[in-house]
Amino acid sequence: MHLLILAQPLPPRSLETLGVFLEERTVQTPYGQAGPFALRQKQNAPGLWILPYFGGPNRTDPRATLWAAKTLGVQRILAWDSVIGLDHALQRGDVILPRDYIDWTKHQPTTFFEKTGAGYISQVPPFCPDISAAIDRHLPKAKPVIYLGGEGPRRETAAEARMFQQWGAQVRGLNLVPETYLAKELELCFAAIGVVAALGADRPHAPGQGQVREADQNILDALPAILADISQPPTCGCDHLQQGPVQRGVLAPDWRTWG
C-alpha cells in the first residue's frame, strides 16, 4: 500500500488518473487525528491513499500523519510538494527531486522517541533511494536539489534567502521535514518530488505564465508509472536503517507501543 502526500493544490478531477475513489477514512492516533485519507485504486494495481497536506503552524502533528499511514498499512510514501526556488538557476515550473535536506524547523515535534531518549537513526540516505530512482526514471528532467525544511506561513526575508543559499539549500518548503525522518523511525519508505511555485525573496518577482500548471500536468501524467514502478519488492533497506539501541525489536516489538 502506498500513500501520496499531496501538498500541491490540484483540481479534484485530476486525481481520477490515479484510480477510482473507494473510501475516505480519518485515523485517531496518540498524536491527534489525521486525515481524511482518500483511497483510490486502478484495476490490477495496489490501493493508493491520498492525503491533502499543507504545512503551517496549525497543521496536523506530522507524527500523527506518519502514525496514521502506518496504521493504514502503508509502506511507501511519495510526497508532492510546492517549493520556493532559492537557487538562482531554478525557475518557476521546474520539477525538483530532493536528494538531501536541511532541517530549519524550530517548533515541530522531532521524534517518536521522546519518552525513551532513543532514536539515533542514520539519515543516510535522506530519502528512499527506490522511490527517488523511480521518479528519476519517469521524470528524467527533475532537478536534484537540497531541500530546506522550514515552517510557515511566513516567507523568508531576502537576507535569509541568501543565508540559506550559503548553507547549500536550493529550495525551501514546508512539507518534507520532519516527515522524512519520522518515516524512518516507523520503518517507512519516504521520498518526494516538487514544483518550484515561487522564487526566493532575494530574486525579482516572476509573473506566472502557466509554467506551474504545465509542471503539475507532467507529474500527473508520470505518477501512475512511478507508482507502478515502486510496487516491486523493496531493495532500498529503509526498513532496517536503525542503528545502536534502535534496532528492530530491541526498542519495542510492536511499534504501536511507542506512543
Are 67 and 34 spatial neighbours (Cβ–Cβ below 8 Å)? yes
Tell me: pLDDT of 259 over 70.
no
- The residues spanned by each domain of the chain are 2-257
User: What pLDDT, on a 0 to 100 scale, did the predictor assign at position 57?
Assistant: 59
Beta strands, E only, the chain: 2-7, 20-29, 32-41, 48-52, 76-85, 95-103, 143-149, 171-173, 189-199
Angstrom distance (rounded) from CA 181 to CA 82? 19
Q: Per-residue pLDDT averaged across 235-243, rounded?
A: 66
Whether the upstream peptide bond of residue 126 has omega within 30° of 0, thus cis, is no
Each residue of 181-225: pLDDT tens digit? Answer: 999 999 999 999 999 999 999 999 878 889 999 999 999 999 999
CATH of 2-257, one of 3.40.50.1580, 1.10.3720.10, 3.40.50.80, 1.10.150.240: 3.40.50.1580
pTM of the predicted protein model: 0.90
Per-residue pLDDT averaged across 166-176, rounded? Answer: 97
Q: Is pLDDT larger for residue 173 or for residue 8?
A: 173
pLDDT (tens digit per residue) in 45-84: 888 999 999 876 567 899 999 999 999 999 999 999 999 9
Average pLDDT in the 125-149 region? 97
